[in-house]
Amino acid sequence: MTDRLYLGIDSGTQGTKCVVVSEKKQTALAESYCGYDLIENDRGGREQHPASWLDACRKVLREVLADQAVDPSLVRGIGVSGQQHGMVPLDKKGEVIRPAKLWCDTETVPQCKTITNRVGGEEQVLEKIGNQVAAGFTASKILWLQQNEPANYERLATVLLPHDYINYWLTGEKKTESGDGSGTAYFDVVNRCWSRQLLSAIDPSGKLEYCLPELIPSEAPHGVVTPARAAELGLPAGVLVSSGGGDNMMAAIGTGNVSPGVVTASLGTSGTIYAYSDSPVVDAQGELAAFCSSSGGWLPLVCTMNVTVTTELMRQMFGLELAEMNDQAAAVEPGAGGLILLPYFNGERTPALPDARATLTGMTSRNMRSDMFCRAAMEGAVFGLRYGLEVLKRNGIDPQEIRLTGGGAKSHLWRQIVADIFGCEVVCLQEEEAGATGAALQALWCDEKERGAGRSLQDITSCFVHLDEHSRVSPIFPNMISYETVYKSYLQLNGCMAKF
């Protein structure tokens, strides 16, 4: 059997990764990473220029294609995973108008309220799209552009999401799919279509509807790499580009979360916890993101905005290396000596506290120590994900095992804290780059469909996605009991925060 290679690109907030997956060997042959920075302001603005994503894509693609284990002539497809919710505004020439506002941008909170009020309140919004107009979603960013930069809004001809923009760069085609589209807050997740009511609430003139890309099924190709781009990158002619999707949707594929019964939690810059469903899951309280998956189903998901960002800030404050921080935190008993951190450095999405700020409570003369602070940072981030787990349980999803991904999952201490606070086993995957791997597997799935092959995506992931049993951690009963008490205090503090 002649091998076929598939490239997975994961363009995130901190950097871009690329993996090369071999169909024949059912493993990754090479990978590369390139980092970049955020553009931040004190009003909650978080932006990046899409040019930095493209520069990173060029670098990682060239590096993996130059790897001795990779034969570029065997590349058949590319899948792209991108950070969700970002607004990439293009003019009529397809040029970027201004830097993209990102998922972690909370500068547009007033616009969320405006859109919601125009539709008739939260219940009406939930009825029309299955989601709320949450801080970070794309809708409020577009209204922000209209209100704050009217000249730029006048130039607006197309609005793309980050992964769609990279697909556009590769193929010259402007398209999107339901998974990433469902995180815009102007997409009806039940009927898988744009919501005219929400679009009209953003811009009553009707212009916005004509700025949206073509909507395609998740299994359909976005297009093929243009001859010019193929020549630039060293790719063969006719390389297929799959529909791609948001980072959570691609990580779901990369963790085998493509059928009911699997739950994934990501310990990245932000935190997410999600499960596959064959039907829409709409939370009556609006705390659950009722996303579509990028595999043909739905992906009920809860997102928190502060996980490894929390530990990174703590590590930097004390001038610790990562291993030093882990060692210090590991030496402290569960509960961090009474310290509880609400890690809302970027505000918070779940619970809905976009204007909140980080708060540390329980300080005494005995716990004002770096090791206690480090432990509290890790625990506080996981308490936020526990809140998300409770939202999933409220909607009928009750896991016995959780598959962990993201940078934090590499730490045994993180995994133990998650298991103890969640009260269930956690396990990692053998392939750490879930988003990039998922993107490559979606490209394989798409290519097989184009060639008339009949394998389902579940069949594909069962061959390529493997649990790392050495990483499996079970909860320790005394720790679980301790954390139940601390978690109740965490919930009380959240209640106080909501009143400010």
Q: What is the DSSP track for 106-152?
A: -TTHHHHHHHHHHHTSHHHHHHHHSS---TTSHHHHHHHHHHH-HHH
The Cα 94–Cα 68 span in angstroms is 36
**Same fold across 5-243 and 247-429+466-500:** yes
432 within 8 A of 74, measured Cβ to Cβ:
no
Q: Which residue has the tokens 């570029």?
A: 72
Domain 247-429+466-500 has CATH 3.40.190.10: no
CA distance 479 to 460: 38
Alpha-carbon torsion 13, 18, 19, 23, what sign?
A: positive
CA distance 17 to 8: 8
Residue position matching structure tokens 């909140």? 356
Burial letters 444-456, b for 16+ CB under 10 A, else e: bbbbbbeeeeeee
**The residue type at 382:** V
Looking at domain 5-243, which of 3.40.640.10, 3.40.1190.20, 3.30.420.40, 1.10.1660.10 is its CATH number? 3.30.420.40
Q: Which helix (H) or strand (E) holds 407?
A: none
Q: Which residues pair with 19 in a beta bridge?
A: 8, 31
Q: Which residues contact 298 (CB under 8 A, 6 or more apart)?
A: 189, 276, 277, 278, 279, 280, 281, 290, 291, 292
Catalytic pick from 105, 247, 283, 371? 247
CA separation for the pair 191, 202 (Å, rounded): 20
pLDDT tens sequence across 158-201:
999 999 999 999 999 999 999 999 999 999 999 999 999 999 99
3-state helix, strand, coil in the chain (%, to 5): 40, 25, 35
Sign of CA pseudo-dihedral 142, 146, 150, 153: positive
- Which residues, at least 6 apart from 434, have a Cβ–Cβ distance to it below 8 Å? 250, 251, 254, 255, 264, 266, 405, 406
**Residues with Cβ within 8 Å of residue 391, at least 6 apart in sequence:** 283, 285, 287, 288, 302, 350
Compute how many other C-beta atoms are within 10 angstroms of the C-beta atom of residue 313. 14
3-state secondary structure of 298: strand
Q: Decide: 267 and 462 in contact? Cβ < 8 Å.
A: no
- Determine the Cα–Cα distance for residues 293 and 250; give it in Å rounded to an integer: 9
Round to whole Å and give the CA distance between 371 and 363: 13
**Which single residue is written with the structure tokens 């298991």?**
419
The verdict on whether 355 is a catalytic residue reads no
Alpha-carbon gap, residue 472 to 146, rounded angstroms: 49
pTM (2 d.p.): 0.91
Nearest CA to 377 among 317, 422, 419?
Answer: 317
Instruction: Report residues of the chain scoring pLDDT below 50.
Output: none
Burial of 151 (0-12, 13-18, 19+ CB in 10 A): exposed
The pLDDT value recorded for residue 498 is: 65
The pLDDT value given to residue 135: 83
Q: Which two tokens stand for residue 266?
A: 């990501």
∠ at Cα 305 (386, 363), nearest 5°?
70
For the chain, the residue count is: 500
Supply the pLDDT for residue 497.
72
Domain ranges of the chain: 5-243, 247-429+466-500
Compute the distance between CA of residue 150 and CA of residue 152 in angstroms, rounded to an integer: 5
Distance, CA of 112 to CA of 185 (rounded, Å) = 10
3-state secondary structure of 169: helix
Which pLDDT does position 500 carry in this prediction? 57
